[in-house]
Chains A and B, each alone.
Chain A
Amino acid sequence: AQTVTQSQPEMSVQEAETVTLSCTYDTSESDYYLFWYKQPPSRQMILVIRQEAYKQQNATENRFSVNFQKAAKSFSLKISDSQLGDAAMYFCAYRVPNTGNQFYFGTGTSLTVIP
Chain B
Amino acid sequence: EAQVTQNPRYLITVTGKKLTVTCSQNMNHEYMSWYRQDPGLGLRQIYYSMNVEVTDKGDVPEGYKVSRKEKRNFPLILESPSPNQTSLYFCASSSGTLSSYEQYFGPGTRLTVT
Contacts and interface: CB of A to CB of B under 8 A. Distances in A.
Interface of A: 6, 9, 33, 35, 43-45, 47, 50, 52, 91, 93, 95, 99-108
A106 B54 contact: no
Interface of B: 31, 33, 35, 40-45, 48-50, 54-56, 58-59, 88, 90, 92, 94, 100-103, 105, 107-108
Given A33-B101, A43-B108, A105-B35, 9 more contacts: A43-B88, A44-B108, A45-B92, A52-B100, A100-B48, A101-B94, A102-B56, A107-B41, A108-B42
A57 B44 CA distance: 29
24 contacts: A6-B42, A33-B100, A33-B101, A43-B107, A43-B108, A44-B105, A44-B108, A45-B92, A45-B105, A50-B100, A50-B102, A91-B42, A99-B56, A100-B50, A100-B56, A101-B33, A101-B50, A101-B94, A102-B48, A102-B58, A103-B103, A105-B43, A106-B42, A107-B41
A102 B41 contact: no
Nearest to B105: A45
A44 B33 contact: no
Contacts of B48: 99-103
Nearest to B96: A101
B102 A47 contact: yes
A45 B90 contact: yes
Contact of B49 (A43, A50, A93, A100): A100
Considering the complex of A and B, which 6 residue pairs feature the smallest CB-CB distances, nearest first? A100-B50, A45-B105, A101-B31, A105-B43, A107-B42, A105-B42
Contacts of A44: 105, 107-108
A35 B94 CA distance: 13
B21 to A, nearest CB: 15
Contacts of A91: 42-43
A52 B98 CA distance: 12
A102 B45 contact: yes
A99 B41 CA distance: 23
Nearest to A44: B107
